[in-house]
Amino acid sequence: MRLAELNTMEAPDAARALRGCADVDRWVAALLVRRPYADRRTLLDTAHLLATWSDAELDHALADHPRIGERGTGPRAATSAHEQAGVTDADREAFREANRRYEERFDRIYLVRAAGRTAAEMLALLEQRLTHDDATELAVTKQQLTEIAMLRLETLVEEDR
């Protein structure tokens, strides 16, 4: 969509579009209230500054996020499938086991920016992140949510011409 469209669309429609980037009510509401945006860069900079997720917001955002290596069924399944294009059927078993160990260790799904990464890279990152203490891994997971949200927002909104 064009920036002008985001700036002028009805709030519920704009919220639905933004929620596809990160399902965090506070973030979506804060972006909506700051409309209209003069340009795409202002929108992206504002979104990045507002991406300070609480633990509860992270948990909510992860609630319908498919695991790496799994095909999701929620409203963002198609987006996640596109982002996880580097995961083949042959990789899925390795991810099943790695995801199980990660969830056992941290009690949440493994979240990583999949776009632009191979399955091998994502598995290596998972293994490395299993060495983190809880606080470090929580911070890394929030950073990954920010990266995902920003990439999705960059894809969603085009500059007006």
For the stretch 13-43, pLDDT in tens is 999 999 999 999 999 999 999 999 999 999 9
The answer, yes or no, to whether residue 71 has pLDDT greater than 90, is no
The answer, yes or no, to whether residue 72 has pLDDT greater than 70, is no
Give the phi and the psi of residue 87 in degrees, each rounded to 5. -95, 120
The answer, yes or no, to whether residue 122 has pLDDT greater than 70, is yes
87 compared with 12, residue with greater pLDDT = 12
- pLDDT at res. 91: 85
Q: Write the CATH number of the domain with boundaries 3-156.
A: 1.10.3330.10
Q: What percent of the chain has pLDDT over 70?
A: 90
Query: Following DSSP, what letter does each residue of 55-113 receive, concatenated?
Result: HHHHHHHHTTPPPTTS---STTHHHHHHHTTT--HHHHHHHHHHHHHHHHHHSS-----
The DSSP call for residue 114 is -
Strand partners, 158: 2
Mean pLDDT of the chain: 91
What residues does each domain of the chain span? 3-156
Contact 129, 102 (CB under 8 A): yes
The DSSP call for residue 156 is H
